[in-house]
Amino acid sequence: MTREESCSKIEDAIQNIDFKGNFADCNMYGNGHINDTFVVRYTQEDGSILRYILQRINHEVFKDPVGLMENVAGVTEFLRNKILENNGNADGETINLIKTKDGKNFYQDSIESYWRGYRFIEDAACYDKVEKPDDFYQSALAFGHFQNQLSDYPAETLHETIKDFHNTPDRFMRFKKALEEDILGRAKNIQEEIRFVLDREQDTHILMDLYKKGEMPLRVTHNDTKLNNIMIDNKTGKAICVIDLDTVMSGFAVNDFGDSIRFGASTGAEDEKDLSKVNFDLGLYELYTKGFLEGCNGSLTDVELDMLPVGAKIMTLECGIRFLTDYLQGDTYFKIHREGHNLDRCRTQFKLVSDMEKQWDAMYEIVNKYR
Ligand code: ADP
Ligand code: GN1
Ligand code: MG
């Protein structure tokens, strides 16, 4: 799509979603790797400004945007009802979809792009790196609580928005296929990273094997629990709202735990080029473990508790494998902002995996301290 076409489609979407007030402006927003996110500002009658989020769903990634939006609408409504039952005010505590002028949850334009609007969560921030340890702890409470609140969600009504999303053995197979095909001839320059993955094939099976034996329960999980998918209140410092619900599906609790660890318990950014700045921070791991277990409020089984460190390692390894696969395939999945971006991202993940392997016993001891 050319820039002009893209702009005209944004205007088209804006006109069809029921945003209130007089349109002021629209700008790209946020650091997500998948959807196109914009902030749209509207002037109100009293002169104040109301902001909204406008998103174009990436339907190369999400093949069934209609099913996805059914999930998002279902989950947000379910959460809103729970919050209302408990404390009577759900404002800001779940994402709020803004319907289209004809009452739908999304707008589909003439070139088959899917757009949605959300109320902008004001006076809150989301972080790409832990700045204050307490933010990480608050996010742990919120993600644990989120999972706990969805424990009685009718899982059978959820659409699988990305097939085999956290099927790690399958991710490993897809990596091997991309390696065999090596369409851009990039493999020769990344032998160390390739070896790193191949050496850990056994690890990729651990959770799936437990699941197949009936020892690892499937739950309704978020599946993308990185710190920048949670909004932290600027005044209170509490996590107020879990966002990015596109991947809410059946999954393993330990993967939700693990995905937060891989992103937040690192001393460096996910795409840091200088690996000497990227270390696994055991103190942050401990903080998150404490918060997540408090948030889950006793709902995890013994096997799940035993597997929390494995979840951390496997989610980090899997994410690195996904970045590396995308690098081999020509960077078509994750948005990149520089050459080699996916390779840089992969390297931080593998550095963290190595660090975890060195601190493996301590990771278990910490879980045992809080279980
Ligand atoms: P992606 O799947 O691309 O990561 P997200 O739904 O996570 O998309 O949105 C990208 C970013 O936009 C978030 O990290 C956050 O900064 C911002 N954002 C999303 N929804 C809201 C909202 N309702 N209020 C304020 N900011 C939001
Ligand atoms: C993507 O959409 P975003 O930026 O929150 C990805 C996650 C990865 C993450 C790595 C749907 O998350 O699975 O862990 O990037 N989301 C999807 O930062 O693939
Ligand atoms: Mg996101």
What's residue 335's pLDDT?
A: 97
In a domain, 71, yes or no: yes
Give percent of the chain above pLDDT 70.
Answer: 97
Question: Pairing state of beta strands 49-57 and 107-108?
Answer: unpaired
- Is the minimum distance from the CB of 229 to ligand 2 under 6 angstroms? yes
pLDDT band at 93 (very low <50, low <70, confident <90, very high): confident
Average pLDDT over residues 207-220: 98
133 touches 52 (CB < 8 A): no
Q: Are residues 35 and 146 in the same domain?
A: no
Q: Are residues 108 and 168 in the same domain?
A: no
What's residue 86's pLDDT?
A: 80
Q: Which atom belonging to ligand 1 lies closest to the Cα atom of 245? A: 6
* Nearest ligand (C-alpha, residue 36): 1
For the segment 115-173, what is each residue's pLDDT rounded down to a tens digit?
999 999 999 999 999 999 999 999 999 999 999 999 999 999 999 999 999 999 999 99
What's residue 88's pLDDT?
A: 66
For the segment 322-343, what is each residue's pLDDT rounded down to a tens digit?
999 999 999 999 999 999 999 9
- How high does pLDDT run on average in the chain? 95
Q: Are residues 172 and 275 in the same domain?
A: yes
Residue nearest to atom 1 of ligand 1 (CA): 32
The last residue of a domain, from among 64, 99, 122: 122
In a domain, 128, yes or no: no
What's residue 9's pLDDT?
A: 86
Q: Which atom belonging to ligand 2 lies closest to the Cα atom of 262? A: 14
Q: Are residues 227 and 93 in the same domain?
A: no
Which conformational region is residue 368 in: left (phi greater than 0), alpha (psi within -120 to 50 degrees), or beta?
alpha
Check: complex ipTM more than 0.85:
yes
In a domain, 240, yes or no: yes
Q: Are residues 292 and 267 in the same domain?
A: yes
Q: How many domains does the chain have?
A: 2
Q: Are residues 154 and 78 in the same domain?
A: no
356 touches 309 (CB < 8 A): yes
Q: Are residues 93 and 240 in the same domain?
A: no
- Is the minimum distance from the CB of 42 to ligand 1 under 6 angstroms? no
The last residue of a domain, from among 122, 156, 189: 122
Question: Does residue 5 have a pLDDT over 70?
Answer: no
Q: Which domain holds residue 68?
A: 3-122
145 touches 295 (CB < 8 A): yes
Q: Are residues 84 and 21 in the same domain?
A: yes
Question: Does residue 65 have a pLDDT over 90?
Answer: yes
In a domain, 127, yes or no: no
Q: Are residues 208 and 323 in the same domain?
A: yes
- Is the minimum distance from the CB of 230 to ligand 2 under 6 angstroms? no
Average pLDDT over residues 52-68: 96
In a domain, 303, yes or no: yes
Average pLDDT over residues 205-217: 98
Place of tokens 């945007």: 65
- Is the minimum distance from the CB of 61 to ligand 1 under 6 angstroms? no
- Write the CATH number for 48: 3.30.200.20
